[in-house]
Chains A and B, each alone.
Chain A
């Protein structure tokens, strides 16, 4: 009998459009499991020929989910182009506030509305209940918190970026506005509530992971390298720093690497079955040099977090694996909530800093022809690399987005779950297929962002033989 193929397309409750294929032999043993990215837009070509100063606004078209990440990464690259080696304290703090606002809202949305149905109801629960409407009906307090936290973060973005669509706050060499006292006071009014809710969300994620550790520890898990930006003193820093990569045991592969030369350390591989590239650490090679990015990687690579509540949470998190990197895929949720708490602590710190009302917003220096901007986006390390000619036009762009960095890990997670939970089963149920999606969701991928396209998410599952004949199919609405 020919091998059978299961297709999960599109994967639901993730941002964007992806497809999972699982090949089974005649005993229903899994032969191969892959996550494919099925959209392509080629944004890097589109920006060629555009004036460099347009880029911080232009790149926000990449994705409506994390436009702030692209806005800031491009602005940082343009800082290099205009020779702004050190932007003013006010400019940096305004950008940081924008960025922490984005982290706060992005992590809140993912936790409360995308992954909470799996956590609150179980991977195998009736799909009629296991969804955001089920969360709203059974846990309306959590649903309201998710919405209000998201709104708080979005309002910070609006206040610092100027507007929601095509924000213009960050410009080459600085920012174009500060934060007024009146704007600040609006955010200070609700800050303690946000902090309390952040602590509550962290507790849910922590308790869920610890109480279900036996089940979660092997779920879609594997040892890996981890990569992130890191501050010079080893602190977690999601806005700026140098690159650090550690292996599965915490041994540093490289440390404090100036990201202007990232290409000496990171390579990208192309595979014929996905539009998403496969990055890897050059010194190790494509086979073993892949790495994880995002909340789990950031907590694993950091020596400490510079806010007290998040640092206490980090210590507890790291104690689980005796100080070694945590390689549990489902621990992403706990790490994500540590970052959510860190973000709101940093927002409080910044709101109380009078430099946010400073007037020194812009610096310039010696013009350069090439610049790299790196930032830790909510989903992981984001690379923007540009070359600009003498006429100020972009001649080259290379982007490595967060989800692309997690391409191999997500495929590993899919493969592990398929092997552990689907292989050999006489019947592949919806609940079993959801296990595969649960593993992908842990990474909070933005598949649109990874290929630079907006997507929709109905779900169609088809069982095919190797000749492409559909043996069975089912669909799930949204």
Chain B
């Protein structure tokens, strides 16, 4: 089982850096079979990486979801338009499936953030707690190996 964790967001925009911070936390664990990547935003060539893995987890900050995070299965969706500023995870999944015949399972780990509208390389206090909860959750899920089992609409605690 080859699993890819992609954390994305602008680490210079406070809590928007939750995705890369999650990727960094998981990367430090050096879990077998788990690769980690991070970027400002998703880009079309990520579809190539997706296609080379059995499962992918998109980790991103979410400005409106319930605390502390959610973990959901993702289906491919053809989006009519995108730029390198805004490629959605479902669109990437579609690209990987359509262009490279990928059968990659995909999941979204959305971590609640609160402060986005200033410059600064730091996470708000509550976002840090949510990050810790999300990291613990994902570590356990990856170690167990059955990601589907951990999917649910919302996780109130972790």
The 4 closest A-B pairs by CB, nearest first: A64-B40, A151-B45, A61-B12, A131-B80
The CA of A165 and the CA of B81, in the complex, are separated in Å by 24
Pick the residue among B39, B48, B85, B98 that contacts A16 (CB under 8 A): B85
Do B45 and A455 touch (CB < 8 A)?
Answer: no
Do B119 and A147 touch (CB < 8 A)?
Answer: no
A164 within 8 A of B: yes
| A147-B95 contact given A65-B84, A454-B10, CB 8 Å threshold | yes
A136 within 8 A of B: yes
| A61-B86 contact given A67-B40, A147-B48, A164-B38, CB 8 Å threshold | no
Interface string of A115-153 (1 = CB under 8 A from B): 000000000000110011100110010011011101100
Do B81 and A131 touch (CB < 8 A)?
Answer: yes
Chain B residues 22-68 with CB under 8 Å of chain A are 37-41, 43-45, 47-48
User: Using Cβ atoms and an 8 Å threshold, which residues of chain B touch A64?
Assistant: 10, 39-41, 84-85
| A455-B80 contact given A61-B10, A64-B10, A150-B44, CB 8 Å threshold | no
Interface string of B103-133 (1 = CB under 8 A from A): 0000000000000000100000000000000
| A127-B80 contact given A147-B95, A448-B85, CB 8 Å threshold | yes
| Selected A-B contacts with CB under 8 Å, 15 pairs | A13-B83, A15-B83, A61-B10, A61-B119, A64-B40, A67-B40, A109-B84, A143-B95, A147-B47, A147-B48, A151-B45, A164-B39, A165-B39, A456-B86, A478-B82
Do A136 and B45 touch (CB < 8 A)?
Answer: no
A14 within 8 A of B: yes
A242 within 8 A of B: no
Do A478 and B43 touch (CB < 8 A)?
Answer: no
B118, closest chain A residue (CB): A46
B78 within 8 A of A: yes
Do B95 and A136 touch (CB < 8 A)?
Answer: yes
Main secondary structure of the interface of B (DSSP, over half): loop
| A151-B85 contact given A127-B80, A133-B80, A144-B99, CB 8 Å threshold | no
A459, closest chain B residue (CB): B81
Do A478 and B81 touch (CB < 8 A)?
Answer: yes
**What residues make up the interface of A, taking CB atoms closer than 8 Å to B?**
12-16, 46, 58, 61, 64-65, 67, 105, 109, 113-114, 127-128, 131-133, 136-137, 140, 143-144, 146-148, 150-151, 154, 164-166, 448, 454-457, 476-478
The CA of A44 and the CA of B20, in the complex, are separated in Å by 25
Do B45 and A150 touch (CB < 8 A)?
Answer: yes
| A15-B85 contact given A133-B79, A147-B95, A165-B40, CB 8 Å threshold | yes
User: Using Cβ atoms and an 8 Å threshold, which residues of chain B touch A165?
Assistant: 11, 20, 38-40
> Could you tell me the distance in whole angstroms from the C-beta of A170 to the nearest C-beta in chain B?
18
Do A143 and B99 touch (CB < 8 A)?
Answer: yes
User: Using Cβ atoms and an 8 Å threshold, which residues of chain B touch A151?
Assistant: 45, 48
Do A457 and B86 touch (CB < 8 A)?
Answer: yes
> Could you tell me the distance in whole angstroms from the C-beta of A118 to the nearest C-beta in chain B?
12
Do A14 and B80 touch (CB < 8 A)?
Answer: no
Pick the residue among B44, B82, B94 that contacts A146 (CB under 8 A): B44
Pick the residue among A114, A128, A136, A457 that contacts B99 (CB under 8 A): A136
The CA of A146 and the CA of B87, in the complex, are separated in Å by 15
Do B11 and A132 touch (CB < 8 A)?
Answer: no
> Could you tell me the distance in whole angstroms from the C-beta of B25 to the nearest C-beta in chain A?
15
Do A150 and B43 touch (CB < 8 A)?
Answer: yes
* Given A454-B41, A478-B86; 20 other pairs, CB 8 A cutoff: A64-B10, A65-B84, A67-B40, A109-B44, A113-B82, A127-B80, A132-B80, A133-B94, A136-B98, A140-B98, A143-B95, A143-B99, A150-B45, A151-B45, A164-B39, A165-B11, A165-B20, A165-B39, A455-B85, A478-B79
Do A154 and B43 touch (CB < 8 A)?
Answer: yes
The CA of A154 and the CA of B44, in the complex, are separated in Å by 11
The CA of A253 and the CA of B80, in the complex, are separated in Å by 44
Do A114 and B83 touch (CB < 8 A)?
Answer: yes
Do B40 and A140 touch (CB < 8 A)?
Answer: no
Give the residue among B45, B83, B95, B100 with the most A Cβ atoms within 10 A. Answer: B83
A163, closest chain B residue (CB): B38
A133, closest chain B residue (CB): B78
